[in-house]
Amino acid sequence: MVSVPAVQGEGRVAPVDAVAQTGSYKLEVRDLTISYDGNTILGGVSFGVREHEIFGIIGPANAGKTSFLKSINRMDMFTSNMRVQGQVLFNGRDVRHWRNVYALRRRIGVVFPLPVGLPLSVYDNVALAPRLAGKNNKADLDIVVERCLARAALWDEVKDRLTSLGSMLSGGQQQRLTIARALSQEPEVLMLDEFSIAVDPVTTMRIEDVLKELKSEMTIILVTNLVQQARRLADRTAFFLGGECVEVGETEDLFTGKVQDSRTTDYVEGRFG
């Protein structure tokens, strides 16, 4: 675990973006602080994500972006030395106050950089989430499976071998399978963490197009190392650096120099990171 020197929390609340405090954020973090074994990885982060927008998060490696995602769907539950402080509000309710954490996670889909094909058939991979939610009708499942695989740009390649093992597909295919699984949850929020690492550029483009369409159905958080990807897709973007959220703003503003912190411009123009 990379230990980031503790960030002074007082007076370092990240600049709040222009549309503030109207209370209609889909997802909102207030003074979120994440630490591992006492080392603060992310300190005092506050911003909101609006419904039906693609929200980008950019920043160099180890800036706490992945930990941030984990704190939202409470996956910190499975990491014993991870400590989350502050508020994470989903639909206005603090996620820590949900009584059924599994119900929370069903509404939030995550795609991590490492492709994971479960050792089930491709069909069962995508049908898993609906089955867990109680959907057992074969006809319904067929529809869901096809739709999700199609959206993940994988349907054509696997439609004739839905019974083959998901864990034996190629890396790129497994990554798209992971995306299909996340979509099968019919989530309210879809979080993607550097999804394009394991996927070739052409397929990445196809998935980016799908994400633009999906925006109307859900809220998307896109963590990415590829700043141009954020520029292409994200409506608003946050810049994480060294354990803090430097700023949040309209993506175009960040890329055209209308920034509140010069480090943002330095980063998007590739001067470091």
Partner 1 sequence: MANHTDVEQASLGAVDQAGGDVSFDRRNLDWYIDKAVQTLVFIGGISAIIFVIGIFVFVTKEGLGFIYDIFDFGDFFGSPRWRPTSEWKPTYGILALVAGTASVTGLAMVVAIPFSLGAAIYIAEFASGKTRETLKVLVELLAAIPSVVWGFIGLSIMNPLIIELFDVPIGLNVLNAGIILGLMAAPIMTSIAEDALKAVPDRYREAAEAMGATRWQVIYKAVLPAAKNGLLGAVLLGVGRGFGETMAVLMATGHSINIPTSIFDSVRALTATIAAELGETAVGSDHYGSLFTIGIFLFLITFIINLTADLIVRGIRKS
Partner 2 sequence: MFQISELNVRNERTQTLFRLLFMFMTGMLILPVIIILATLIYKGGPVISIDFLFTDPTDGMTAGGIFPALLGTVWLVAVALLVSVPLGVAAAIYLSEYAPENWFTRFINLCIINLAGVPSIVHALFGVGAFVLFFGFGTSILAASLTLAVMTLPVVIVATRESLQAVPMAFREACWNMGATRWQTIRRIVLPNAVSGILTGVILEVSRTTGETAPIMFTGAAFFLPFLPQSVFDQTMALSLHLFVVSTQVPGVPENLPYGVALVLIGMVLLMNSLSIAFRVYLRGRKKW
Q: Which residues bind partner 2 (CB under 8 A)?
A: 73, 75, 78, 80, 102-107, 109-110, 112, 114, 116-120, 128-129, 132-133, 165, 167-168, 178, 181-182, 185
Name which of 146 and 188 has its Cβ closer to partner 1: 188
Tokens 């599994």 belong to which residue?
102
Instruction: Label residue 32 exposed, middle or buried (CB < 10 Å: 0-12, 13-18, 19+).
Output: buried
Q: Which of the choices partner 1, partner 2, none does residue 97 contact, using the CB cut-off of 5 to 8 A by kind?
A: partner 1
Q: How far is the CB of 118 from partner 2 (least distance, A)?
A: 6
Least gap, CB of 194 to partner 1 (angstroms): 28
Residue 114 binding result from partner 2, partner 1, none, given CB thresholds of 5 to 8 Å by partner type: partner 2
Q: Which two tokens stand for residue 220?
A: 């998307």
**What does the radius of gyration of the chain's CA atoms come to, in whole angstroms?**
19
**Do 46 and 30 meet the contact criterion of CB atoms below 8 Å apart?**
yes
Least separation in angstroms between CB 269 and partner 1 = 37
**200 vs 205: CA distance, rounded Å:** 9
Rounded-to-integer distance, Cα 26 and Cα 88, Å: 11
CB 203 to partner 1: min, Å: 31
**Distance in angstroms (rounded) separating the CA atoms of residues 10 and 33:** 12
Nearer to partner 1, 39 or 87 (CB): 87
Q: Rounded to the nearest whole angstrom, what is the least distance from the CB of residue 25 to partner 1 in the complex?
A: 7
- Residue 143, binding choice from partner 1, partner 2, none, Cβ under 5 to 8 Å by partner class: none
Q: State the Cα torsion 251-254-259-262 to the nearest 10°.
A: 150
Nearer residue to partner 1 within complex by CB, 94 or 269: 94
